[in-house]
Amino acid sequence: MRLAAACLAASLLATAEGGPIPNEMGVGLFPYEPIYFAFDPGIGDEPLNAKFQVSLAIRLFDPKPEAKERDGLYVAYSQTSFWDLQSDSKPFYDSSYRPEGWYHIGIPDQGKATGLGLQPGFGHESNGKSGVDSRSINHLFVRAVGQWQAEDMAIFATPRARWYTEKEDNDDIAYYRGYFDISGGMRIKDGFGLSATGRIGSGADKGSLQLEATYPIGALTRGRMSGFIYLQWFGGWSESLIGYDEKTDQPRFLLGYSIVR
């Protein structure tokens, strides 16, 4: 939802930052969306009391390898899973598998604006279940990306428009997730980070907001540990794919650890 997040954030702020903004090299596997594990610390009654996400991307085609530009064809794979730790068998409630591909068309940097570009692409999302629990979406999207640097602070934004090409398993999903989402936020080098992802459903009273706050563990351990303290807040509809037409009963907090943010 992202969006969105990488060796893709224009310079990575010299740490493990993520994002859909390619850096100058953009080669090899790199983190795309945030990679984290978080759990419900006891605030509320939600049965989905743990959540984790992995996300990696790679550039497949570089039209000008000698120029060290960001343009090129990228593919990514992301997975978000919900884990019910309260039940006896500790089952996974749902998982969302999201392969996608896009072409980054760079826009010349303007002053403190870096990593500007447009990214037309194609995405798939499904939960790997069958029967009445099956969920599957194919969509085309166009995403704008940008980052603005001010000394040790970066501000970023990634609005995205999408068009569903296949949603037979959940033909009313646009009513809850809509056709537009936006991710954005700020990060301080070796300091606090805050990001938000918002969706507006085609139903005027639907949609969702997810907030993520991070702080580098290295700043608290004098560099002995890497990664980030991670706090997530979610409110609204369609947090999981299987429950795309369900509203989270209450705003929900998760606390955990993030490898990249």
| Domain CATH number, residue 181 | 2.40.230.10
- What pLDDT does residue 92 have? 83
Residue 5 has pLDDT above 80, yes or no: no
Tell me the C-alpha distance between 162 and 177, whole Å: 10
Q: Is residue 121 part of a domain?
A: yes
Check residues 100 and 222 and name the one with the higher pLDDT.
100
Query: What residues are paired with 208 via a beta bridge?
Result: 199, 236
Query: Residue 48 is which amino acid?
Result: L
User: Domain for residue 168, yes or no?
Assistant: yes
pLDDT of 1: 38
Partnered with residue 231 across adjacent β-strands are 213, 255
Count structural domains, the chain. 1
Residue with the bigger pLDDT between 6 and 57: it is 57
Tokens 């984790």: give the residue: 52
233 near 41, Cβ under 8 Å?
A: no
- The per-residue pLDDT of the chain, averaged, comes to 85
Residue 169 forms part of a structural domain: yes
Distance CA 14, CA 11 (A): 6
Give residue-wise pLDDT tens across range 37-81.
999 876 555 555 899 999 999 999 888 776 666 889 999 999 999
Instruction: Find the domain containing 222 and state its range.
Output: 12-260
- 12-40 pLDDT, tens digit per residue, is 333 356 666 555 444 578 999 999 999 98
pLDDT: is 113 or 136 the higher one? 136
Least confident of 7-16, 39-48, 167-176, 187-196: 7-16
pLDDT at 46: 53
In a domain, 1, yes or no: no
Minimum mean pLDDT range among 71-80, 182-191, 246-255: 246-255
Q: Which residues contact 141 (CB under 8 A, 6 or more apart)?
A: 102, 119, 120, 121, 122, 123, 160, 161, 162, 163
The reply to whether 3 falls in a domain is no
In a domain, 53, yes or no: yes
CA angle 97, 169, 212 (to 5 degrees): 40
Asked if residues 101 and 58 have their Cβ atoms less than 8 Å apart, the reply is: no
Q: In sequence order, which ranges of 187-234 are alpha helices (DSSP H)?
A: 218-221
- pLDDT given at position 57: 95
- Give the Cα separation of 182 and 167 in Å (integer): 21
Strands 252-260 and 35-39: antiparallel
How does pLDDT run across 221-242, given as a tens digit for each residue? 888 889 999 999 999 999 999 9
pLDDT score recorded for residue 135: 95
